[in-house]
């Protein structure tokens, strides 16, 4: 009886895929202005997402760098003998979670202080005559968050006058990053939803125009997947098209930032994420988000029309 | 079991509380031609929609080709629909496609092989007598011709059951006879035809089994029956 209808193959046939692609591009062209509006919305959102992520990724990296730089400074009593110092060094090595112990003489301490003062160092040149800095041990912990515990443990050892660790700066930086992140995320979610909404609307228009067609397709036994494919492709294309300008912009802006600002920051011991790593990852991410927005928007529109 | 359509105690209540079908029991054999008659609002459309699973019964079983479609899963529905041809009063053709493309469309969307499509489309257009119009667009055709295209489309997948909902409702009497001739030919090839109609002349002249629906119930089931209403 059913000589024509054969078994259903799960893999899509090439000519079917070609049909779906044709259908979707035809419809994108037919609704030119709506397509343009949706693509623009995605573009605007992704430009902001891109710039935001560019800054956030770098802030995160910088914070991480600083955090891992956190060290515990153990200042020594000026009257300590060499033997006492050696004993203390051995004791410090025994403290839990201590990774390394380095001795910094009072002279080295002053040199590094002078260096970090930069141009202001002239006004402190008197210090060279009589160095007020004590000798110190510099400890690194296995993990940044162990800093406080190590500092406490060390404080109880004999001959230790003072223990310091860079507490405030890291915490402040993290607080700033958190606020920036929350504000940015709220803004971006709003923008992304707007894009999804616009794409959904565009697709809805094309679906209304082809309502008859869908009805007939369902009537003669087309599967939902078959009906859905062209719209899926349409949404995907709009989303990916919308990510082109943001990707280019991110590349240009980061090139400028990395090669111009990067040098200045390096003097302050701040290293930005390398150009290629940043642009490759961020571009892929933006294209991915674009595609996701497009597909989400279009699929949310199709769903209602499939119940025929 | 050689029932092509078998209904057992089928009920349908719409969400607004209207009872459209009240316990339908029915058996239609392979190759039968059945008219569904009855006043407006008697449940004819609901009955028709049940057969091609546009609606699910609230209660009861509907076997089409020995398969209960009442508990068919949504994703199985497309494959089921390929075994049912449906024709409507308003033809439902795509205006931007030619006669040939309209029929081929039905086979393309179920991913038939192009060579098969071409052969089959020519076959069914020949059967409905429109082979010479295959490049015309629907708006260049008369109502009767459009309905013939729609019939060609409905049978191109060789369904064992053809369902027609008021197929002559928009056509003048003479054209209606031509459509009935097409249905006769399809029926003679062994296809079961179920046709809901208000056309008294046709039912009385071309005698087939008549099912009269009133208030969602079968009130008359008559072989070689007559129309039996005055409208």
Given A163, A189, A210, which residue is the final one in a domain?
A163
Domain assignment present for A2: no
Q: Which member of A4, A223, A224 has the closest CB to residue B112?
A: A4
- Burial-class residue A48 by CB neighbours within 10 Å (0-12, 13-18, 19+): middle
Are both A40 and A77 inside the same structural domain?
no
User: Is B112 near chain A, with CB under 8 Å?
Assistant: yes
Asked, for residue A259, whether it belongs to a domain, the answer is: yes
pLDDT of A116 reads: 65
Sequence-distant (≥ 6) Cβ neighbours of residue B121 within 8 angstroms:
B100, B103, B104, B107, B134, B152, B156
Do A225 and A155 share a domain, yes or no? Answer: no
- Residues A217, A180, single domain; the answer is yes
Q: Do A221 and B111 touch (CB under 8 A)?
A: no
From residue A1, alpha-carbon distances to A8, A207, B126, B162 in Å are 17, 35, 19, 14
Total domains in chain A come to 2
Average pLDDT on A64-92 reads: 79
On whether both A78 and A62 belong to a single domain, the answer is no
* Contact criterion met (CB < 8 Å) for B158 and A1: yes
What is the torsion angle, in degrees rounded to the nearest 10, for the CA atoms of residue B85, residue B90, residue B92 and residue B96?
150
CB of B157 within 8 A of CB of A5? yes
Per residue in B171-226, pLDDT (tens digit) is: 999 999 999 999 999 999 999 999 999 999 999 999 999 999 999 999 999 999 89
Q: What CATH code is carried by the domain that includes residue A97?
A: 3.30.70.3040
Residue A1 lies in a domain: no
Q: Is A14 left (phi over 0), alpha (psi -120 to 50) or beta?
A: alpha
Residues sharing a CB contact under 8 Å with residue B40, sequence separation 6 or more, in sequence order: none
User: Could you tell me the residue ranges of all domains in chain B?
Assistant: 91-158
Looking at the fold, whether A109 and A191 belong to one and the same domain comes out as no
- Whether the predicted pLDDT of A148 surpasses 80: no
Rounded to the nearest angstrom, the minimum Cα separation between B205 and chain A is 31
Q: Lay out the sheet containing A72-76: strands in order across.
A: A98-104, A136-141, A72-76, A160-165
Could A2 and B158 be called an inter-chain contact, meaning their C-beta atoms sit closer than 8 Å?
yes
**Is residue A94 located within the same domain as residue A157?**
yes
Tokens representing residue A22 in the block: 């044709």
Highest mean pLDDT among A43-57, A61-75, A290-304, B147-161: B147-161
DSSP A143: S
A128 and A253 housed in the same domain: no
Do residues A221 and A300 share a domain? yes
Q: Which residues contact B164 (CB under 8 A, 6 or more apart)?
A: B86, B87, B88, B183, B193, B194, B195, B196, B197
Question: pLDDT digits over B109-138, tens only?
Answer: 888 888 999 999 999 999 999 999 999 999
Nearest-by-Cβ selection for B116 from A4, A222, A226 = A4
Q: What would the mean pLDDT of A211-230 be, rounded to a whole number?
A: 88
pLDDT, tens digit, 9 for 90 and up, residues A158-201: 777 787 776 666 667 777 778 887 888 888 888 888 888 888 88
Average pLDDT over residues B8-14: 94
Domain span holding position A44: 16-66+171-305
Asked if B81 and A216 come within 8 Å (Cβ–Cβ), the reply is no
pLDDT in tens, B94-117: 988 999 999 999 999 888 888 999
The ipTM, to two decimals, is 0.86
**Average predicted confidence (pLDDT) for chain B:** 93
Domain termination residue (choose one: A163, A187, A221) = A163
DSSP, res A258? I
Residue A207 and residue A58 in one domain: yes
pLDDT of residue A2: 40
Closest CA of chain B from A196, distance in Å = 27
Pair A25, A101 in one domain: no
Q: Tell me if A245 is assigned to some domain.
A: yes
pLDDT at A271 over 70: yes
0.95 exceeded by pTM: no
Bridge partners of B128?
Answer: none
Indicate whether A4 belongs to any domain: no
Q: Rounded mean pLDDT of chain A?
A: 81
B152 in contact with A at a CB cutoff of 8 Å?
no
- B158 close to A (CB below 8 A): yes
Checking if the pLDDT of B63 tops 90, the result is yes
Cβ–Cβ < 8 Å for B33, B193: yes
* Alpha carbons B215 and A188: distance in angstroms, whole number: 58
Contacts of A217 in chain B (CB under 8 A): 105, 109
């Amino acid at each position: 009886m059913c000589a024509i209808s054969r078994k259903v193959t799960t893999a899509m046939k090439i000519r079917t895929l070609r049909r779906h692609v044709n259908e979707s591009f035809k419809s994108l062209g037919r609704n030119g202005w709506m397509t343009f509006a949706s693509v623009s919305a995605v573009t605007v959102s992704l430009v902001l997402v891109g710039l935001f992520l560019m800054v956030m990724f770098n802030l995160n990296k910088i914070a991480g760098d600083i955090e891992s730089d956190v060290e515990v400074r153990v200042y020594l009593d000026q009257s300590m003998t060499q033997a006492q110092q050696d004993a203390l060094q051995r004791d410090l090595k025994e403290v839990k979670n201590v990774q390394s112990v380095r001795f910094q003489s009072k002279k080295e301490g002053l040199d590094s202080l002078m260096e970090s003062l930069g141009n202001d160092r002239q006004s402190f040149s008197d210090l060279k005559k009589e160095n007020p800095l004590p000798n110190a041990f510099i400890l690194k912990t296995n993990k940044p968050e162990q800093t406080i515990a190590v500092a406490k443990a060390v404080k109880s050892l004999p001959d230790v006058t003072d223990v310091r660790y860079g507490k405030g700066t890291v915490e402040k930086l993290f607080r700033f990053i958190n606020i920036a992140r929350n504000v940015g995320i709220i803004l971006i979610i709003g923008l992304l939803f707007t894009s999804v909404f616009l794409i959904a609307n565009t697709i809805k228009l094309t679906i209304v125009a082809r309502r008859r067609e869908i009805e007939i397709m369902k009537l003669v036994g087309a599967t939902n997947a078959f009906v859905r494919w062209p719209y899926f492709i349409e949404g995907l294309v709009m989303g990916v098209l919308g990510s082109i300008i943001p990707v280019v912009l991110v590349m240009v802006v980061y090139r400028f930032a990395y090669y111009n600002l990067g040098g200045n920051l390096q003097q302050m011991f701040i290293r930005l994420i390398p150009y290629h790593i940043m642009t490759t990852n961020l571009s892929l991410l933006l294209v991915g988000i674009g595609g996701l927005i497009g597909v989400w928007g279009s699929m949310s529109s199709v769903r209602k029309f499939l119940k025929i | 079991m050689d029932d092509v359509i078998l209904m057992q105690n089928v009920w349908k209540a719409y969400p607004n509380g209207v009872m459209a079908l009240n316990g339908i029991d029915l058996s239609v054999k392979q190759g039968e031609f059945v008219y569904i008659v009855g006043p407006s609002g008697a449940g004819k459309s609901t009955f028709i929609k049940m057969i091609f699973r546009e609606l699910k019964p609230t209660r009861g079983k509907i076997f089409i080709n020995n398969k209960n479609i009442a508990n068919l899963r949504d994703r199985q529905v497309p494959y089921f629909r390929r075994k049912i041809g449906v024709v409507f009063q308003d033809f439902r053709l795509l205006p931007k496609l030619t006669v040939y493309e309209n029929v081929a469309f039905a086979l393309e969307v179920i991913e038939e092989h192009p060579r098969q499509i071409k052969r089959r489309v020519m076959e069914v257009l020949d059967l409905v007598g429109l082979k010479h119009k295959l490049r015309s667009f629907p708006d260049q055709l008369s109502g009767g011709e459009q309905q013939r295209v729609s019939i060609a489309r409905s049978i191109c997948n060789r369904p064992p059951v053809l369902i027609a909902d008021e197929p002559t409702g928009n056509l003048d009497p003479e054209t209606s006879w031509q459509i009935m001739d097409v249905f006769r030919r399809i029926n003679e090839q062994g296809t079961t035809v179920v046709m809901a109609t208000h056309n008294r002349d046709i039912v009385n002249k071309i005698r087939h089994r008549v099912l009269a629906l009133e208030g969602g119930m079968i009130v008359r089931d008559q072989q070689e029956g007559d129309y039996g209403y005055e409208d």
